[in-house]
Amino acid sequence: MFSFFGCFKKKPAPDNIETWLEIQFPGQFEVLHSNLNFNVMDMYRGKKTALVAEKSDPEVQFVLFWKKDSPDLGLTNEEVQTAFETAKNDVAQARDLFKLLKNKGLENFSVGVIEPAAYILIFTEPDAATRGQVLTKIKSALDAKNTPTSIWIEMMEPSAYGQKFGDIIPHGHWKTETGWQEQEKIMSLNLEYRKEVSVATLMAHWEVNPMSRRGAADREDAYRQAKIWAEKNLPQPFYLEPNQMVGFETDEKDGLAVHYHFPYFDAQPNENDSGLVEPKGYVSGLYHTEKKTFSAIKKQKDL
C-alpha cells in the first residue's frame, strides 16, 4: 500500500524558468538568457531577468522577471501572454516601418520598435549629404503612415551592418549588446516626430558619439593638434596625457563638435600612480568631427 500511494507523490515545482514555460506554454518559447541581472541587490534578493523568444519567430523577444524560490517563480500566464502580445505587436510595427522605408529608397538599415519608440539604424558614412538624404527618406516614410512618434535615428559604422541582426532589431539586442551599440554608433538624432518639422531643422540636431570607435580616433587627432599647441605654449618640460583623465563633452550649440580637455604634468606619472597625481592643468579646445579641426585651444587650471 505504501509503495502504491507513493506513485502519486506530488511532482516538485519547477525551479527554473525554462521548465516553467515549457509546462505552461508547451513548445512555444525559448529562453535565450535566464539571468541578465547585473544589479547586486537583485542577485541578493534572488530576482532574475530572463530574455525569451518565440520559437516560431525568434525576432519576437520579451523580458520576464522571475524568482527561483517563489511559487510559480513569481509569474502568471496572463503576465507572459501580455508581454508576448506586446512584443509581437512591436515586431509587426517594425516590419511595416522597414517596408515603408525600403520603398522610399533607404538602404543598409535596420528597424526596431519598443513601444512607443522606433529605432532606425543606418550603416553608412554619415557625411552631411548622406545625412540629409537619410532624413528626407525617413520623413517621407513617416509622413505617409501613422508610426511611433518617438524616433531614434542612429548612424552606424558601415562595417557593422549585419553583424548582430538583420532587417529587424530584436528586443534582446538592447539588453545584451549595449557595449557593441555604443562602440559602433557614430552619431544620432532623437526626436518627437511631427509632420511640420523640416529636414533642414532636423539636420541641426545630429549629435556625435565620443564613446564610439570613431570617437576614439577623433580624440587621437584632437590630441595630436593639442600637443602641437602645447609644445609652443607650455613651459618645458611637460607631459600631455592622451588617454587617462581626459575630459570631454559635446558642444551645446553644435552636436558634431566635442570639447576635449587633455591633462598635463611636469613629467609622465608612474603607471602605479596613474589617476592619483593631480595634473597641473588642462589643454582644452573644441574639436569639430567633420572639419577635423581643434580650435579655441587654451590652458586652464581646472575643468
Model confidence over 198-241: pLDDT tens digits?
999 999 999 999 999 999 999 999 999 999 999 999 999 999 99
d(CA 273, CA 167) in angstroms, rounded, equals: 48
> Tens of pLDDT along 130-143?
999 999 999 999 98
Per-residue confidence at 182, pLDDT binned at 50, 70, 90? very high
Sheet holding 150-156, edge to edge: 109-114, 117-123, 150-156, 185-192, 207-208
Sheet holding 47-54, edge to edge: 29-33, 47-54, 57-67
Residue 240, beta-bridge partner list: 264
Classify 245 as helix, strand or coil. Answer: coil
CB 237 within 8 A of CB 208: no
What local confidence, expressed as pLDDT, does residue 193 receive? 86
What local confidence, expressed as pLDDT, does residue 275 receive? 62
State phi, psi for 108 to the nearest 5 degrees. 50, 60
> Tens of pLDDT along 107-157?
999 999 998 899 999 999 999 999 999 999 999 999 887 777 899 999 999
> Which H or E run includes 26?
none
Per-residue confidence at 297, pLDDT binned at 50, 70, 90? very high
Residue 154, beta-bridge partner list: 121, 188
